[in-house]
Structure 1
Amino acid sequence: MITEFTPIQSLIGGSLIGLASVLLMLTLGRVMGATGILAGFMQPASPRDWSWRAALLAGMVTAPGLILLTTGQMPAIDVPVSTPMLILGGILVGIGVTYGSGCTSGHGVCGNARLSPRSIAATLTFMLFTGITVYILRHVIGG
């Protein structure tokens, strides 16, 4: 398994995520946590609450189409695991965001920026278990 080193694309992507997070906090006073946004979209508190969530999710879904229009090709996506492993990973992430009261975008980007002790602990936990998972998959199982 080869890990790509893409510092320019990563810097641009991270900057855009940070900018979007700041703009959402400035305009609506909301934290940009993807799982919280999706959960609020599925069970909105009000029509106004649903509309900004729908717009944000629509942007996430249509971004590859904009890349296609701009560059003439879809972004390259290489998923080096099987469908059952993707499903298992999705279930584990779902459990993790439930017990962690949020996801990496909410805690890692927004919570850490606010110096939230809970978000710092959650992010350290995410990073620790990510490292353990990668080690097991690459060196123990041999994926």
Structure 2
Amino acid sequence: METSFTPIQALLGGSLIGIAAVALMALHGRVAGMTGILTGVILPKGDWDWRVAFLLGAIAAPVLILVLTGTSMPLQAELPSWAIVLGGLLVGIGVTFGGGCTSGHGVCGIARLSVRSMVATSTFMATTFVTVFVVRHVLGGF
């Protein structure tokens, strides 16, 4: 599978993620971990409104880009549905045991120089590298 290198889009997207994370910390004193935000919507803890607004913004942004430009990012999954579901479940288990997700640890935790987040993000990345290698080169891909 070939991937496209899009440095401008990556820089813009990363910058927007960083701005959103800083704004959430500055305005609400909260870390922008998507898993924690979603959990707070499903199991309300009293600060439901900003969580819903954050998630709606994450959903609305791609829709806005589609409306403004007339183009969208193509969604191509060269995996069977069962593999995608299994991967999602494994990520959910990892998020539970890791005490957070890549957005909370990787974006916000590392920016705060949290050693725990640096270890967690390193573990996420190493596991990803090994998984991709095994799936593509040992198992022959899908």
Q: TM-score range by the shorter chain?
A: over 0.9
**C-alpha distance after superposition, 1:25-58 (max 9, x if no partner):** 0000000000000001111111xx1000000111
How many residue pairs are counted as aligned between the two chains?
141
Give the match's secondary structure for 1:122.
Answer: helix
Alignment of 1:80-99 (within 5 A): 80-99=78-97
Residue 102 of structure 1 aligns with which residue? 100
Identity of aligned residues (%): 58
**Partner AA of 1:28 in structure 2:** H
Root mean square deviation, CA, Å: 0.9
Q: How much has 1:72 moved relative to structure 2? A: 1.2
Q: Which runs of 4+ in 1 moved over 3 A?
A: none
Q: How much has 1:74 moved relative to structure 2? A: 2.7
Separation in structure 2 between the aligned mates of residue 64 and residue 114 of structure 1, nearest angstrom:
28
Unaligned runs of 5+ in 1: none
Give the match's secondary structure for 2:120.
Answer: helix
Residue 44 of structure 1 aligns with which residue? 44
Give the match's secondary structure for 1:73.
Answer: coil
Residue 10 of structure 2 aligns with which residue? 10
